Amino acid sequence: MKISPAPARHSPTPTRPGPALFAMALGGLAIGTTEFASMGLLPAFAADLGVSVPHAGAAISAYALGVVVGAPVLAVLGARWPRKRLVLALTGALALANTASAFAPTFGTFVATRFLAGLPHGAYFGTASVLAASLVPRERRPRAIASVMSGLMIANIVGVPGATWLGQAAGWPAAYLATGAIAVLTAAAVWRLVPDVRDERRGSILGELSALRRGQVWITMAVIATGFGGSFAVYSYVTPVLTEVSGLAEAAVPLALAVFGLGMTLGNQVGGRLAERAPVRTVTAGLGAATVSMAMFAATASSPVLALAALFALAFTTTATTPALATRLMDAGREGPTLGAALHHAAFNVANALGAALGGLVLAAGWGWMSPAAVATVLPLLGLVALAAAVRMERTELRRDLALAA
């Protein structure tokens, strides 16, 4: 009698992917807290480690550089790993690096640990985004990616203000220890709630690297790097602006950071839905409105109420572009979707480094606390120029493919 082979074992796509998306969003909470809390704690660790505020911005740039390096390298090296296992490994690395930041004895050591903390950032989001997209129908991918990214946004409502308050109350190292604890909680949630999708398409190193040969990948990264650079020029130095220019008490800074985080969270959710309908128009409108919001902040920061309103608008408009740009990079990468998605965060942190460096440059030149916001308004406009070039390239490629098919 002929015996049929047993079917391959695999985990079916869950009918309710919510718990898995929630677990991966927790990692975003940890990453967003460690990335943005450094900006809120910048005066504290600058004073404790014996450097000036503009000099301390190097720690923010070091984290961003870690993301830029780690995103492609770890995504490629982990191409053959099951994505759930890679997410767990990256979460563990995040926990260790943030614990090391808390115990850094000198500013140089602190900068080095911030670089290490940045390494898993982009690869985590790249891997988690592709895994999340595999759990839902194709047309729901932007919303699934937005769900994973929501942890990064919610970090600015809960994690960053909480870490800033904790750093003010118990010393800045406590904030990084708390972030490490969130990363450990993430690992436990991912292990328990995320399905081990054994029949998912496994990547390869050469397949992932193929994403780097596509011009659309590079030009979309340019949109992100310039489009978000202005936002980071403002946010990197937002604490001294709010205390020195707006007149807020230091104890009120966590509330202001929560307002920024609320704008990010709402922008991400609205952007996820708009990206399913009109992705290019969503990015265009978001970057254009971000330029206006930045100019508003530069002009009205002396008023606490208007400054907070401008910060909310800047966070909302910039972040609304995120799901559309992340999906665009995944599609542009084709055979290398994990690397494509990871490069979104590499470009995002090029923007981080660019914004922090530009802001530090004009502050060191003595132009005043409002100079980063005023000078950086040009960056989203450059993002719009890059977006127009990307759309033009996309249409050219489409016409060429149609001609070849005919």
SS (H, E, C) 27-88: HHHHHHHHHHHHHHCHHHHHHHHCCCHHHHHHHHHHHHHHHHHHHHHHHHHCCCCCHHHHHH
DSSP, residue by residue, 331-371: HHHTT-HHHHHHHHHHHHHHHHHHHHHHHHHHHHTT--TTH
* Identity of the amino acid at 203: G
Task: Quick: pLDDT tens for 377-394.
Answer: 889 999 999 999 988 888
Average confidence score pLDDT of the chain: 84
Is residue 143 assigned to a domain?
Answer: yes
Confidence label for 101 from pLDDT (cuts 50, 70 and 90): very high
Task: Quote the pLDDT of residue 347.
Answer: 85
109 compared with 142, residue with greater pLDDT: 109
Is residue 197 assigned to a domain?
Answer: yes
Structural domains in the chain (count): 1
Confidence label for 125 from pLDDT (cuts 50, 70 and 90): confident
Q: What is the CATH number of the domain that holds 32?
A: 1.20.1250.20
Task: Residue 48: give the domain boundaries.
Answer: 18-405
pLDDT at 397 over 80: no
Is residue 291 assigned to a domain?
Answer: yes
Task: Quote the pLDDT of residue 335.
Answer: 66
Gap between the Cα atoms of 290 and 284, Å rounded: 10
Is residue 9 assigned to a domain?
Answer: no
Confidence label for 156 from pLDDT (cuts 50, 70 and 90): confident
Task: Quick: pLDDT tens for 243-302.
Answer: 999 988 888 887 887 888 889 889 988 988 888 888 899 999 999 999 999 999 989 989
Task: Quote the pLDDT of residue 127.
Answer: 87
pLDDT at 15 over 60: no
Reading the block at residue 164, the tokens are 């800033």
- Mapped onto helix, strand or coil, the DSSP state of residue 1 is coil
pLDDT at 41 over 90: no
Task: Quick: pLDDT tens for 330-358.
Answer: 777 666 677 777 788 788 878 877 887 88
Is residue 6 assigned to a domain?
Answer: no
366 compared with 88, residue with greater pLDDT: 88
Residue 8's H or E segment, with its range, is: none
Is residue 8 assigned to a domain?
Answer: no
pTM over 0.85: no
Is residue 7 assigned to a domain?
Answer: no
Is residue 5 assigned to a domain?
Answer: no
pLDDT at 1 over 70: no
